[in-house]
Structure 1
Amino acid sequence: MTKKRMEWEEGNWINSPLYARKEGDFLKVAPEKGRDFWKKTLYGFEFEDGSALLSDWNNNTAVEVSFQLASFTELYDQAGILLYNGPEQWIKAGIEINDGIPQLSTVVTAGYSDWSLAAVPEWVGEEVTLRASIIKDAVVIRARTENHGWRTIRVARFPYTTGNQAGPYTCSPTREGFEVTFTRWHFTERDQDLHSDPPVEHH
């Protein structure tokens, strides 16, 4: 396939944010305080009210979302990519502030959520790209910045062959005033191999 750059207007919100406004090619989004995506595990609570801008996702394509980290300053500030097959069957992956530093965060949910974290303090203030690509019954999730190459951050079960959607998401569970700047949203060639880096697509 050829690379498809998504226009922000082509997506549909699940759970609208406080606001989403275009500035040039970018989209600035402010999530509503107290909303999130999480199912049961450890905490007992269930949230599926975070804001995500989604479009149909063909399993034969990869999806990429890029955003700026400069505004991420407080606990649980987060943004990235949501892979959505419906209530209770989704994955959110991106950057989340935890213990005062940015962490690559992935929450995989099939009825119950699990959570993995990897600290990336060297990414402070950079532009981050998240990428998801389905291989067989799994999704391979990678991340990079303009100054740091691709890192594979998760291989997770994602066996759904129909009804998949994907796109940018953001949540602010504990504070008001968070705003994230999304810089691009692409569908492109899917990964061919777990151990081969995909190309870096510049703006």
Structure 2
Amino acid sequence: MRTLGWDDAAWLNPPQATTTDGTDLIVTTRERTDFWRTTAYGFVHDDGHALLTAFPTESAIEVTFLARFDTVYDQAGLMIRVDEQTWIKAGVELTDGLPHLGAVVTHGRSDWSLSPVPDWNDHLVTIRASRSGDAITLRARTPQSPWRTVRLAPLSPDAPAQAGPYCCSPQSTALQVRFTSFALGPADPTLHTPSG
């Protein structure tokens, strides 16, 4: 994997504040920001924060972050975006009183899959997206746990996608997230065995 600089990407919806601490990027969200389209809630939100760079097919992108989630729906992770109606976000989100590892896949309307990870709050988490052919494979791990597959989702190989770290705080005034790494490399060689 090749480390990307924070300046190698551009903000979709700049956050309230950003600072650097050594090689880390510390991001503070704006109040009540989110990414969601229609399903169940009936609203469209497209004002979360994502730092995006080109994400060509046959490549993989990784983001590592550290956050303490205090308010319901606080979230951080990795976003893949084609446009406002076609995007994927994967990461950790606080819901039902616990941090959950999950993904939202949006093709016109959003869906949501999630699994509790109660010991992941305030720990380093790495989210990896591997793009190969017509698919995105999403994986996650912590330094204490191995890679686990989060989702296999469709994305056209012709789609001009971008990807990078994202965060938002749908129900709170601000969430602070420390992003510690951002890297791009080759796609995973197989569906079931991640590289790196």
Alignment of 1:14-93 (within 5 A): 14-69=12-67, 71-93=68-90
Aligned to 1:117: 114
Alignment of 1:159-170 (within 5 A): 159-170=156-167
Q: Which amino acid in 2 is paired with 1:65?
A: V
Aligned to 1:196: 193
CA contact (8 A) 2:82 2:161 kept: yes
Instruction: Work out the number of aligned pairs and report it.
Output: 196
Cα distance between partner residues in 2 of 1:171 and 1:44: 19
In the alignment, does 2:152 pair up with 1:155?
A: yes
Shift of 1:35: 1.4
Shift of 1:106: 0.5
Q: Where does structure 1 differ by over 4 angstroms across 4 or more consecutive aligned residues?
A: none
TM-score computed with the length of structure 1 as normaliser = 0.93
Q: Secondary structure at the match of 1:9?
A: helix
Gaps of 5+ in 1: none
CA contact (8 A) 1:50 1:170 kept: yes
Shift of 1:7: 0.7
Q: Which amino acid in 1 is paired with 2:111?
A: D
Shift of 1:162: 3.8
From 148, 169, 183, the equivalent of 1:172 is 169
Gaps of 5+ in 2: none
Cα distance between partner residues in 1 of 2:193 and 2:26: 33
Shift of 1:194: 1.3
Cα distance between partner residues in 1 of 2:51 and 2:121: 24
Shift of 1:160: 4.1
CA-based RMSD: 1.1
TM-score computed with the length of structure 2 as normaliser = 0.96
CA contact (8 A) 1:85 1:160 kept: no
Could you tell me the percent identity over the aligned residues? 41
Shift of 1:124: 2.8
Shift of 1:170: 0.3
Bigger shift: residues 158-167 or 85-94? 158-167
Aligned to 2:133: 136
CA contact (8 A) 2:37 2:110 kept: yes
Q: Secondary structure at the match of 2:106?
A: strand
Cα distance between partner residues in 2 of 1:14 and 1:122: 30
CA contact (8 A) 1:88 1:109 kept: yes
